Amino acid sequence: MTLETPLAKVLGPKTATGMADQLGLHTVRHLLRHYPRRYARRGEMARLDDLQPGDRVTVLAQVKTVSTRPMRQRRGTLTEVTVGDGASTMKLVFFSHRHARLAPGVWGMFAGTVGTYQGKLQFTHPDMHLLSGDDDDDDWARELVPIYPASKDVSSWVIQKSVKLLLGGAGNLADLVADPLPEEIRTRHALLSLPAALLDIHRPTTAQDVERAERRLKWDEALTLQLTLAARRRAAALEPGTARPRKAGGLLDAVDAALPFALTDGQRAVGEELAAELDRDQPMHRLLQGEVGSGKTVVALRAMAQVVDAGGQAALLAPTEVLAAQHARGIRALLGPLGRAGELDGDPAGTRVTLLTGSLKAAARREARAEVAEGRAGIVVGTHALLQEGVDFADLGLVVVDEQHRFGVEQRDALRAKGSRPPHVLVMTATPIPRTVAMTVYGDLEVSTLRQLPSGRGGVASSVVPVVEKPGWLDRAWERLREEVAAGRQAYVVCPRIGDLPGDEPEDADGAPPEEEGRSDRRPPLAVLDVAEALRAGPLAGLRLEVLHGRMTPEEKDGVMRAFADGATDVLVATTVVEVGVDVPNATVMVVMDADRFGVSQLHQLRGRVARGKHAGLCLLVSDAPTSSPTGQRLAAVAATSDGFELARLDLETRREGDVLGAAQSGRRSGIKLLSLLEDEELIAEARAEATALLATERGLADHPGLAAEVAALASDERAEWLEKA
Ligand code: ADP
Ligand code: MG
């Protein structure tokens, strides 16, 4: 048996099939790395006396009576079992299930969620393990009984037994599992050997065993991931790119001359960094993160201009049509005649700014694609449509991805692949990234940060409007909005849903918090169309009010955005289509309806739409959640701080690692099971340093075949995932 031995060769065919199909476990390696979700403590095994409905517990009890009868409403049989632990009894109910060994007198462990039926406590379909008196009985006698992530056909007990078989069957686990970690690293960080850690995670004696085993196994995860990322960085550094040196007297100088403001120190510093990197023939791979409103666009535009001056093309990928159109408009306005080469009033020394989105009509699309393919378009702005086949660049020199959190690695790569040589890459995000995420999800990128907002910004004051507790505050909110409009400003009202269609889904559930228990019977979220109508007829009567949402055609959206940007509309009632990037400096108020239906980062993004000019802003988070509830407190936290990093951390707390890694990597398997992005910052940083050091040596991983195999296994799991999705 080796780590790569298929489980089918080791376990029975039925068990192996269930594990493969339902849990994705195919090899011995996979099963050994399938760790317990938690441990049931024998000493803390629940007493029947103490149970409360809703508890998720494991009890040790003896079967008293068993009775089976046909069900009245449905086909099949119902088996009722009474069990007792000496002090008290409870009922177990099984539908259409016969358990030959369930007989009076037998002891067993029963795990499930305590329910009630006719006032009595009961378990419905508990997980159970009957104690047979044969040799596996030491399993339940252990102090800590591992409880595994299980599935319909593969119970925790079956997994426990199968793992035991692997651990015991190998004779000496050390033969089966060579420790991939170099001795030196293990000693330096005081880590258990891998066989010892595997034994302890699956069959611990004390809680301390679990803790030490987990630390070691987290190290494996962190190191493998960091080695993969470090290898990617090194490979990228060896790719032959094209230097795009800065030239005087071209587009970049024209942009600088046309800017209506002075760059902030941060914009200047990052600009220098980018200019120098573009000048190298190694392709740049850089992440620019900066607070909402910190002015990332102009930094990107200056880099694009440098590339155009050097004879290349630059592509800007935006997540929505609204944003792509806004970028194109803004860049064209700034470049003036220099952006209209080939047109009557254009400057022949300039270039063209081409917008390429999915909604272009066939003829316009053909024309846009031709401009791109023939190199007439120096600056190409677009949405996903840029990634399509048939979009070819004459000489793609720089790819800029705006609002990276909306895109996965694959999209970044797809655009990169459109250059004949690897282009330089700049990805931008306004969602501040906690250090751990920067080291993992974005670990193959160098990071620049814009911390400073352009000076003269008014800042945004935020408050929660708890409509149940303070019904009068909502009226006051609409009054405030009217005051701003009277002073010449504009406002957004954001709702989670479009409306009109029955059961239409929230426009964008990205990063939304999980439904809280007990709140699933809530009314549907407020809808743009309903709210707009109510406001027109009520508190905002007489104001110029328009709606914006994802069901409108791109032309309609563009028209509404344009009117709002021109000041022809006072109030925009919208879904989260305004979340990213929308830039109307005269807008100062945002009212978010049903604010609790949005995620923390999303609220922060939304709030970033106001006070982008010199006027102070106001953001009101309207919610019917009680202020003392977790939801209410989450909103209060958003209102209390405008520090994006702080909020990113809060956001991370309300989501799971898998979601973060999964969303950002769009589905790639990360190999992360134990590592916590929230708690293991130090460990990840240490592993990153070790990985970088290992790969920096002449021989790389050549002297560490075990580590190389782990990295290869992660890569092949990733590929397997790919194949399944394709
Ligand atoms: P974000 O980083 O959120 O993408 P933008 O690039 O959209 O921010 O910039 C926000 C606003 O700030 C825009 O209206 C932009 O023109 C303006 N801006 C950018 N840099 C400066 C600066 N140095 N001084 C004043 N305003 C600036
Ligand atoms: Mg932006």
* Number of domains the chain contains: 3
The backbone region for 315, taken as left when phi is positive above 0, alpha when psi lies in -120 to 50, beta otherwise, is: beta
Which of the listed residues 154, 171, 188 is the one where a domain comes to its end?
171
Where in 476-551 does DSSP place strands (E)? 490-494, 545-548
Please state the rounded mean pLDDT for residues 335-339: 90
Please state the rounded mean pLDDT for residues 655-677: 54
Q: Which of 367-381, 431-445, 635-649, 710-724 has the lowest mean pLDDT?
A: 710-724
492 CA to middle of ligand 1, Å? 19
Q: Is residue 233 in some structural domain?
A: no
Higher-pLDDT residue of 309 and 692 is 309
Helix boundaries (H) for 431-573: 435-440, 472-486, 528-537, 554-565
Please state the rounded mean pLDDT for residues 369-375: 95
CA of 402, nearest ligand number: 2
313 CA to middle of ligand 1, Å? 23
Atom of ligand 1 nearest to the CA of 298: 6
Tokens 């306005």 correspond to what residue? 333
Q: Residue 516 has what pLDDT? A: 40
The CATH number of whichever domain residue 391 belongs to comes to: 3.40.50.300
Higher-pLDDT residue of 553 and 46 is 553
Q: Is residue 424 in some structural domain?
A: yes
For the entire predicted model, the pTM comes to 0.66
Q: Is residue 232 in some structural domain?
A: no
Which of the listed residues 606, 641, 676 is the one where a domain comes to its end?
641
CA of 454, nearest ligand number: 1
Q: Is residue 274 in some structural domain?
A: yes
Q: Residue 636 has what pLDDT? A: 92
Q: Residue 695 has what pLDDT? A: 87
Please state the rounded mean pLDDT for residues 568-582: 86
Q: Residue 724 has what pLDDT? A: 42
Higher-pLDDT residue of 237 and 39 is 39
d(CA 219, CA 159): 24
Examine the pLDDT at 102 and tell me if it is beyond 50.
yes
Query: Are residues 565 and 626 located together in one domain of the fold?
Result: yes
Structure tokens at 420: 């004949």
Atom of ligand 1 nearest to the CA of 456: 25
Query: Are residues 263 and 315 located together in one domain of the fold?
Result: yes
Atom of ligand 1 nearest to the CA of 402: 4
Minimal-distance CA residue to ligand 1 atom 26: 454
Ligand 1 pocket test target in 297, 381, 490, 582 with most atoms within 8 Å of CB: 297
Q: Residue 518 has what pLDDT? A: 39
Please state the rounded mean pLDDT for residues 239-266: 92
Residue range 483-533, pLDDT digits in tens:
999 999 999 999 999 987 655 555 544 444 444 433 445 688 899 999 999
Counting Cα atoms < 13 Å in the Cβ hemisphere of 520 gives 3
Name residue 71's amino acid.
Answer: M
Atom of ligand 1 nearest to the CA of 296: 2
**3 state DSSP class of 489:** coil
Query: Are residues 273 and 318 located together in one domain of the fold?
Result: yes
- Among 48-62, 103-117, 253-267, the range with the most confident prediction by mean pLDDT is 253-267
d(CA 551, CA 497): 11
Residue range 458-491, pLDDT digits in tens:
678 999 999 999 989 999 999 999 999 999 999 9
Which of the listed residues 145, 171, 197 is the one where a domain comes to its end?
171
Higher-pLDDT residue of 417 and 57 is 417
Q: Which residues face 110 on adjacent strands? A: 59, 128
Please state the rounded mean pLDDT for residues 94-113: 77
Atom of ligand 1 nearest to the CA of 290: 2
3-state SS string over 555-567? HHHHHHHHHHHCC
| CA distances from residue 700 to 35, 178, 444 in whole angstroms, order as listed | 30, 19, 17
- Among 22-36, 300-314, 490-504, 685-699, the range with the most confident prediction by mean pLDDT is 300-314
468 CA to middle of ligand 1, Å? 38
Atom of ligand 1 nearest to the CA of 292: 3
Please state the rounded mean pLDDT for residues 635-663: 71
In the chain, what's the furthest Cα-to-Cα distance? 96
Give the phi and the psi of residue 329 in degrees, each rounded to 5. -60, -50
Please, what's the b/e burial string for 607-646 (b: 16 or more CB within 10 A of its CB; e: otherwise)?
Answer: bbbbbbbebebbbbbbbbbeeeeebbebbbebbeebebbb
Atom of ligand 1 nearest to the CA of 612: 11
Q: Residue 504 has what pLDDT? A: 54
d(CA 384, CA 366): 16
d(CA 563, CA 574): 14
Minimal-distance CA residue to ligand 1 atom 10: 293
For the chain, state the CA radius of gyration.
30
Query: Are residues 419 and 511 located together in one domain of the fold?
Result: no
Average pLDDT for the chain: 83
Angle at 290 (CA atoms; ends 285, 292), nearest 5 degrees? 135
Q: Which of 559, 619, 591 is nearest to 492 (CA)?
A: 591
pLDDT category of residue 578 using cuts at 50, 70 and 90: confident
Q: Which of 116-120, 189-193, 277-281, 629-633 has the lowest mean pLDDT?
A: 116-120
262 CA to middle of ligand 2, Å? 18
Q: Which residues contact 515 (CB under 8 A, 6 or more apart)?
A: none
Minimal-distance CA residue to ligand 1 atom 23: 263
618 CA to middle of ligand 1, Å? 19
Structure tokens at 559: 């028209």
Q: Residue 667 has what pLDDT? A: 31
Minimal-distance CA residue to ligand 1 atom 3: 293
Domain ranges, residue 525: 460-641
Query: Are residues 410 and 531 located together in one domain of the fold?
Result: no
Q: Which of 587, 611, 595, 597 is nearest to 461 (CA)?
A: 611
Minimal-distance CA residue to ligand 1 atom 9: 295
Helix and strand tally (H, E) in the chain?
Answer: 24, 22
pLDDT category of residue 655 using cuts at 50, 70 and 90: low
347 CA to middle of ligand 2, Å? 28
Q: Residue 349 has what pLDDT? A: 83
Residues in contact with ligand 1 by the CB-under-6-Å rule are: 261, 263-264, 267, 290, 292-298, 430, 454, 581, 583, 585, 612
**Using the 8-state DSSP alphabet, how is residue 452 labeled?**
P
Angle at 374 (CA atoms; ends 368, 378), nearest 5 degrees? 70
Atom of ligand 1 nearest to the CA of 330: 16
Q: Is residue 179 in some structural domain?
A: no
d(CA 116, CA 54): 9
Minimal-distance CA residue to ligand 1 atom 5: 295
Ligand 1 pocket test target in 265, 294, 607 with most atoms within 8 Å of CB: 294
3-state SS string over 404-448? HHHCCHHHHHHHHCCCCCCCEEEEEECCCCCHHHHHHCCCCCEEE
Give the phi and the psi of residue 672 in degrees, each rounded to 5. -95, 120
Query: Are residues 425 and 356 located together in one domain of the fold?
Result: yes
Ligand 1 pocket test target in 298, 304, 449, 451 with most atoms within 8 Å of CB: 298
Q: Is residue 568 in some structural domain?
A: yes
Q: Which of 132, 135, 159 is nearest to 147 (CA)?
A: 159
Q: Which of 251, 386, 254, 236 is nearest to 307 (CA)?
A: 251
Query: Are residues 29 and 123 located together in one domain of the fold?
Result: yes
Minimal-distance CA residue to ligand 1 atom 19: 295
CA of 289, nearest ligand number: 1
Q: Which residues contact 491 (CB under 8 A, 6 or more apart)?
A: 481, 484, 485, 570, 571, 572, 587, 588, 589, 590, 591
Examine the pLDDT at 59 and tell me if it is beyond 60.
yes
Q: Which residues contact 379 (CB under 8 A, 6 or more apart)?
A: 304, 308, 313, 314, 316, 331, 339, 351, 352, 353, 354
pLDDT category of residue 726 using cuts at 50, 70 and 90: very low
Q: Are 563 and 609 in contact (CB under 8 A)?
A: no
Residue 143: Cβ-neighbour burial (10 angstroms; 0-12, 13-18, 19+): middle
318 CA to middle of ligand 2, Å? 9
Please state the rounded mean pLDDT for residues 103-127: 82
Q: Are 404 and 318 in contact (CB under 8 A)?
A: no
Alpha-carbon torsion 313, 269, 641, 616, what sign? negative
d(CA 186, CA 194): 10
Higher-pLDDT residue of 37 and 301 is 301
Please state the rounded mean pLDDT for residues 678-694: 88
Higher-pLDDT residue of 657 and 75 is 75
SS3 content of the chain, % helix, strand, coil (to 5): 40, 20, 40
Q: Residue 665 has what pLDDT? A: 38
pLDDT category of residue 722 using cuts at 50, 70 and 90: very low
Examine the pLDDT at 410 and tell me if it is beyond 90.
no
Structure tokens at 690: 């070790």
Query: Are residues 623 and 485 located together in one domain of the fold?
Result: yes
d(CA 167, CA 170): 6
298 CA to middle of ligand 1, Å? 7
Query: Are residues 65 and 155 located together in one domain of the fold?
Result: yes
506 CA to middle of ligand 2, Å? 23
% the chain with pLDDT above 90: 37
383 CA to middle of ligand 2, Å? 14
Query: Are residues 127 and 259 located together in one domain of the fold?
Result: no
The CATH number of whichever domain residue 87 belongs to comes to: 2.40.50.140
Q: Which residues contact 439 (CB under 8 A, 6 or more apart)?
A: 226, 684, 685, 688
Residue 420: Cβ-neighbour burial (10 angstroms; 0-12, 13-18, 19+): exposed
Structure tokens at 560: 């509404």
**3 state DSSP class of 677:** coil
Q: Is residue 44 in some structural domain?
A: yes
Please state the rounded mean pLDDT for residues 667-674: 59
% the chain with pLDDT above 70: 86
Q: Which of 213-222, 465-474, 616-625, 671-680 has the lowest mean pLDDT?
A: 671-680
80 CA to middle of ligand 2, Å? 62
Q: Residue 171 has what pLDDT? A: 62
Q: Which of 308, 313, 245, 301 is nearest to 277 (CA)?
A: 245
- Order across the sheet with 617-623: list the strands: 460-466, 617-623, 587-592, 490-494, 571-574, 545-548
Q: Is residue 183 in some structural domain?
A: no
327 CA to middle of ligand 2, Å? 9
CA of 406, nearest ligand number: 2
Ligand 1 pocket test target in 426, 612, 614 with most atoms within 8 Å of CB: 612
Q: Which of 645, 658, 707, 716 is nearest to 230 (CA)?
A: 707
d(CA 252, CA 209): 61
Atom of ligand 1 nearest to the CA of 450: 2
Query: Are residues 144 and 259 located together in one domain of the fold?
Result: no
566 CA to middle of ligand 2, Å? 19
Residue 718: Cβ-neighbour burial (10 angstroms; 0-12, 13-18, 19+): middle
Query: Are residues 42 and 149 located together in one domain of the fold?
Result: yes
329 CA to middle of ligand 1, Å? 15
